[in-house]
Amino acid sequence: IDGLWEALEANVVPDLEIMDPLSGEPFIQKDLYKLIELTSRVNPHCRWNFTTNGQWEFTDYIKSHLDMIEIDLISISVDTVNHQTYESIRAGGELQNLKRNIVKLMEYVSEREKLKGKRIRLVLNFTIQKNNAYEIEEMFSYCEQVGLAPLFLFLYDPSDLSLEGWSDDQKAGYLHFYFNKLNKSQLIVTNRLFMAVIRSIEDKSIKTKWYKFYEFVTDEDICKITEASMDPLSYALNRSQEISSF
């Protein structure tokens, strides 16, 4: 688009407080690096959030551009730590490549924090759907192994992959399975997921029962959870990082 970059430089970027590239994998987009260079020159105090699938090579070029900006959050979409499930969810992706980049990003964040003294949040996203619904314990184990906070999200679309398509009995069975498997801290960390499952139950009496049971096993205020449930990085992420033991 003619004049786009000039307009961004003059009218948009100088006033930004937070930059969050959306729509696709940011680190394979050439214009991302042009935007980083522009922002670092025009508005160096702008803070950045990134969501990435980790399916790229962490080159010196990428590192040098990250060094130009203030970073608040790098959220890595993992979804599963099972090779077979990963191939079914992220066709063409390689789980080992993702795990290598997780380690490299952890090293980068650690080195940068030592140099600049500013914390960067590095979290692992797990979007729960039919393919990975019963892998939550393995996800917790991996997060504990690498020392990163998990963020559990509920897949709504495409609907044929979503747990919303399950019957009330299937949803109740799912909740019963994990409420007996996970400890209190894990149930709090997964609140966004299980609140979405409970909300999707059509039978009001069953729904009410599970809301009350969640409160009972976690001692969490259901009203606060419900108020924060529309923002995955407000309640779920904060609680995930507050709890150090899974």
Over residues 10-27, the pLDDT tens digits come to 999 999 999 999 868 999
- Say what the pLDDT of residue 205 is: 92
Over residues 33-79, the pLDDT tens digits come to 999 999 999 999 999 999 999 999 999 999 999 999 999 999 999 99
Alpha carbon distance 123, 119 (integer Å):
13
Average pLDDT over residues 122-140: 97
Residues in the chain, how many? 246
- Say what the pLDDT of residue 229 is: 44
Average pLDDT of every residue of the chain: 89
Closest CA to 191 of 246, 121, 239: 239
- Say what the pLDDT of residue 200 is: 96
First to last CA, the chain: 49
- Say what the pLDDT of residue 65 is: 98
Percent of the chain surpassing pLDDT 90 = 78
Alpha carbon distance 60, 70 (integer Å):
18
- Say what the pLDDT of residue 105 is: 97
- Say what the pLDDT of residue 246 is: 38
Over residues 227-240, the pLDDT tens digits come to 444 443 444 445 45
Q: Given pLDDT bands bounded at 50, 70 and 90, which one contains residue 220?
A: low
How far is CA 234 from its chain centroid? 12
Single pTM value for the model: 0.85
Average pLDDT over residues 125-142: 97
Over residues 173-207, the pLDDT tens digits come to 999 999 999 998 899 899 999 999 999 999 999 99
Average pLDDT over residues 85-102: 94
Average pLDDT over residues 145-157: 95
Alpha carbon distance 83, 88 (integer Å):
9
